[in-house]
Structure 1
Amino acid sequence: MKKKVGIIIFIVCVFIGIVFFKENRLSEKPAEYLIDIMIKNEEKINIDYIQMGIILPDGNKEIINTVRGNSMGNDMFHFNINYSPDTYFFLKGTSDGKEIEPCYFDMANYSNVNEPQEMYFYIEDFKIYKE
């Protein structure tokens, strides 16, 4: 009889543990958001570098990563970042010493942590300022 009670208590504990861990595993944490940002350069425009930055709550900008043009063959730039959906980012860079128009964006529409996510930008869509 004691053995049956012990087994029943063990099974109930295992069931409660499974339910508890399943619920906690599914809860999302903002730091777990991950996205690949791809910048395509289909026309092979000469790019010196592309910088990705974050706009801080106080309005200041901080560069979080830089990719040099010749490091990936100059036709694709790639950033892999963790983010929060309410964070604002920017991309900027230079082409032959001329500034590329900065691009500002947020991640409000990217909130799926269960599947890989990608965001694409095209260099051809950016304005390159004349010096």
Structure 2
Amino acid sequence: MNQPLALRIVLQPPPAPGIFPDFQRDQLTPFRQRLVRQTARKLLQRIAQLTPVDTGRAQSSWLLAAQQLQPETAANTATPDLQITEGKIGSLSIITIVNQVPYMPFLELGTSQMSPFAMIRRALLEQIR
């Protein structure tokens, strides 16, 4: 179980034209991109808060991801512990964040000898409530 942990955030466009009357069609894509980035940043900051700290490597990887999603940064970023890819599939706006800290799956999912911290799942539940 030495695979990186991936978090994918997907936002669909509004179902019908005219749902956002203040926006022109060409403004919707940048607006949607900002919304996806803001949502991802907020989620990553909460995940970092919930991540247990021993050396700080796992937590700092989440915080680096949140920092990389600032409006002025490039869409695709990679470091030894982190990979962020931003793009579209059809009409979906997608950000994929891969935290490559080797023990991240053990923190999130637990082991036979350690309870899961479930920081990603808890942060996601908080976000959707």
Could you tell me the TM-score, scaled by structure 1's length? 0.30
Structure showing greater Rg: 1
Higher helix share: 2
Name the structure, 1 or 2, with higher relative contact order (CA <8 Å, separation 6+).
Answer: 2
Higher strand share: 1
